[in-house]
Amino acid sequence: MEVPSIGEKFPEIEVETTHGRIKLPDYFQGKWFVLFSHPADFTPVCTTEFVAFSMRYEDFKKLNAELIGLSVDSTFSHIKWIEWIKDKLGVEVPFPIIADPQGFVARKLGMLHAQSATHTVRAVFIVDPDGIIRAILYYPQELGRNLDEILRIVKGLQVNKKYGVALPANWPNNEIVGEHAIIPPASTIQEARERPKQYECFDWWFCHKEIPKEEAEEARKFLERAAKPGKLA
């Protein structure tokens, strides 16, 4: 089964979730969505991730982005687990979780662990409002995800889509161009000659420009929060 790639349309799939049966990507039409898989319910690292996703749900919604989880556990297991999270940790999981006990969705999206046909890795698919896969991340079972970085990625991809620019390493705190955006490469000799007249450039192939500061500030708050230790009271 061929696994979808960045830039391709997210495959049409009907799935059973804790919010009922839904069809992807149509269910999130007009919105960004983040589909993430976890190895198993009632496991420590996955529990910390679901709490983190839930506590940042409103941040995702402000970015016009929704969340949806997935594992090869049953709907019954998902429901019991999120009840446990609410009862023991005081956090309500507000987004749907896909039940994939046969592993159909996991196989279709390349989420299964190489050493186990019954556990998914920590995969993340970020999909835009047109249903196009914009980013794919994979984490090992042993390492929980940084949720603020995933928020930064969604924000950065939205800036790319809105302004037609690329973003540098560690944006919006890049070591060379700060919060500026990178201009895509020139495609003609004439365009290359004009670049230094239009933008700030180190050379015609490395030009950058300022974008509205509020775009960078929104991304920066995620980085600042990620740098601060914190836990549930």
* pLDDT tens digit sequence for 26-85: 999 999 999 999 999 999 999 999 999 999 999 999 999 999 999 999 999 999 999 999
End-to-end CA distance of the chain: 45
Q: Please say if the pLDDT value at position 197 is more than 80.
A: yes
**What is the distance between the alpha carbons of residues 6 and 64, in angstroms, rounded to a whole number?**
20
pLDDT value of residue 222: 87
pLDDT band for position 116 (50/70/90)? low
Catalytic residue among 15, 24, 35, 46: 46
Q: What's the pLDDT at 118? A: 65
Query: In terms of DSSP H, where are the helices of the chain?
Result: 44-55, 57-62, 75-89, 104-108, 147-163, 189-198, 213-226
pTM (two decimals): 0.93
- Strands 206-209 and 200-203, by their bridges, are antiparallel
- Segment 6-17 shows an average pLDDT of 97
153-183: per-residue pLDDT in tens? 999 999 999 999 999 999 999 999 999 999 9
**Residue 207 annotated among the catalytic residues of the structure:** no
Q: Does the domain spanning 13-144 belong to CATH 3.40.50.450?
A: no
Query: Mean pLDDT of all residues in the chain?
Result: 93
Pick the CATH number of 159-226 from 3.30.1020.10, 3.40.50.2020, 3.40.640.10, 3.40.190.10: 3.30.1020.10
Residue 162 dihedral angles phi and psi, to the nearest 5°? -80, -40
**Stretch 137-145: mean pLDDT:** 92
Distance CA 182, CA 159 (A): 11
Q: pLDDT tens for residues 30-40?
A: 999 999 999 99
pLDDT at 178: 97
Q: Is the pLDDT of residue 25 over 80?
A: yes
pLDDT at 131 over 80: yes
**For the chain, which residues make up each domain, given as ranges?**
13-144, 159-226
For the record, the structure tokens of 50 come out as: 């679901």
